Amino acid sequence: MLNNILLVIGGLALLTWGADRFVHGAAAAARNMGIAPLLIGLTVVAFATSAPEILVSIVAASQKQPGLAFGNAIGSNIVNIGLVLGITAVIRPIKLESATLRREMPALLAVTLLTVSLFLDSYLSRIDGIVMLTGLVLVMIWLARLGIRSAANDPIARDYEAEIPTDVSMTMAIVWLVVGLATLLIGAELLVNGAIGIAERLGVSEVVIGITIVALGTSLPELAVSLASALKGEYGLAIGNIVGSNIFNLLAVIGVAAAIEPSAMAPSVLSLHIFVMVAFTLVLFAMTYDYDGKAQLSRMEGAALLIAFIAYDSYVAIQNI
């Protein structure tokens, strides 16, 4: 067990550092190519932020453990909303000033409902995976068009302008891109092997380990970005990071796993975990809806999200360990 725990810790450390370098390199390379910062943020950064989950999904599916990938995607979305946004809003309320971000929120809801519809037969086939990956391409195109059409004075555009590096040469950007990707691959391999070992020792399913330990670990980059952004007053980036990551988690992480290794779903996924993920997504949509022209995620709402997340994870732990 100790060896497996060390593998998980080492894997998470490599994934966290590798994700940071991968995002840094990808964003810098895109900026050097003359792509607008908002467009980079909505597409390149959003996709790269989900790189830990995607790499874990590929490694898990290739080792015939797609349940770990499914659990990671579902759990990461729950962690992102309940824990990451909960903690961030408690520390500093998040104002939703970006029109671009308000257009992204319905897209997250639509992608979530698409995923649920594919889960209803308790089996994710290769065709389901292809449908999700096709949806990923369409979402990327839509986000690119959204970035092009968005107003230059949108607050989220200023946030990305401030955060995307400007002083990195193309050579160094590519170096960081390659180093980050290699580190992510190694970290994902260690994390998956450790997680499978822990699941076997505890006698629980890989889905449960994916929803708890793996999801929490792979969401650390999102937690760091959202906290840092909120403290700097970059509210659009604080919540936009989560919305984009959740969209890519569902379409890319689950889509890749299903395309590589089709699998039946554990009964608990449909009876509990998917329901909780949809509930968190709907609650976030309701909390951030602009009812009175002052849309924001308040401290009270952040505390409610955080308490709900702790209750859910505690229930899962008590039921399975």
Q: Per residue in 170-205, pLDDT tens?
A: 999 999 999 999 998 898 889 888 888 888 888 887
In whole angstroms, what is the distance from residue 297 CA to residue 114 CA?
26
Most confident stretch, 106-110, 226-230, 266-270, 287-291: 106-110
If you average pLDDT over residues 290-307, what whole number do you get? 81
Report the alpha-carbon angle 59-65-69, nearest 5: 65
Q: What is the helix (H) or strand (E) element at residue 144, kind and residue range?
A: helix 126-149
pLDDT of residue 4: 86
The angle, 0 to 180 degrees and rounded to 10, between the axes of the packed helices 99-119 and 274-287 is: 160
pLDDT of residue 283: 92
Range of the domain at 201: 2-320
If you average pLDDT over residues 7-28, what whole number do you get? 88
Write the single-letter amino acid at 208: V
Question: In the chain, helix, strand, coil percent, each to 5?
Answer: 80, 0, 15
Count of alpha carbons within 13 Å of 225, Cβ hemisphere only? 32
pLDDT at 239 over 90: no
Q: How many CB atoms lie within 10 A of CB 292?
A: 6
What is the band of 79 on the pLDDT scale with cuts at 50, 70, 90? very high
CATH number, domain of 255, equals 1.20.1420.30
What is the band of 291 on the pLDDT scale with cuts at 50, 70, 90? low
Question: What is the total count of domains within the chain?
Answer: 1
In whole angstroms, what is the distance from residue 137 CA to residue 139 CA?
5
Report the alpha-carbon angle 45-49-53, nearest 5: 145
Report the alpha-carbon angle 310-73-108, nearest 5: 90
Q: How many CB atoms lie within 10 A of CB 260?
A: 18
pLDDT digits (tens, 9 = 90+) for 134-166: 999 999 888 888 878 776 677 777 777 777 888
